[in-house]
Amino acid sequence: MADNHNFRVKNGLEVGGNITTTGNISIPLASKLYFGGGSHTYIFEDADDRLRFFVGGAEFMRFTETTANLVHFYQNVSTTGNLIVGGDVTATGYLQATSYLYTRNNL
C-alpha cells in the first residue's frame, strides 16, 4: 500500500539537486514560475485561461482561451524556417518580405 503524505513549506524551499514527481505540480493563480534564479524571466497565469510569458521583464507572448482562442505576440517574431498559417492572416500594419511572398489568390 502506498503512503499518501503531504509536504508543506511556508517560507521558501531551496533544493540543490533535481526534483522528481509522479504527480502534478500546481501553481496558484497569479503566482509565477521563474527561470534562471532571477525575477525577470517567468511564466504566469494572471487570470483564468490566460498564460503570459515574460523575458527580460518584457511580455513576449500571451495565450488566451476564449471562444476565439487567441495567441498574442508582443515583440517582433522572426523565423529562420517557413512560417505556415492554416487560417486567415489579418494585419493592422505592414506585411514585409525580404524575399518572396506567396499567396493563393491576388492581394
The DSSP code sequence of 22-67 is SS-----TT-EEESTTSSSSEEEEEETTEEEEEETTEEEEEEE-SS
Query: Model pTM greater than 0.85?
Result: no
Q: What is the DSSP letter of 67?
A: S
Q: Which residues pair with 70 in a beta bridge?
A: 64
Is the pLDDT score of 1 beyond 60? no
**Dist CA 43 CA 58 (whole Å):** 11
Q: What is the DSSP letter of 81?
A: S
pLDDT digits (tens, 9 = 90+) for 11-30: 888 888 998 989 888 899 99
pLDDT digits (tens, 9 = 90+) for 32-87: 999 998 889 999 999 999 999 999 999 999 999 999 899 999 998 888 888 888 88
Cβ atoms of 62 and 75 closer than 8 Å:
no
Q: What is the DSSP letter of 30?
A: T
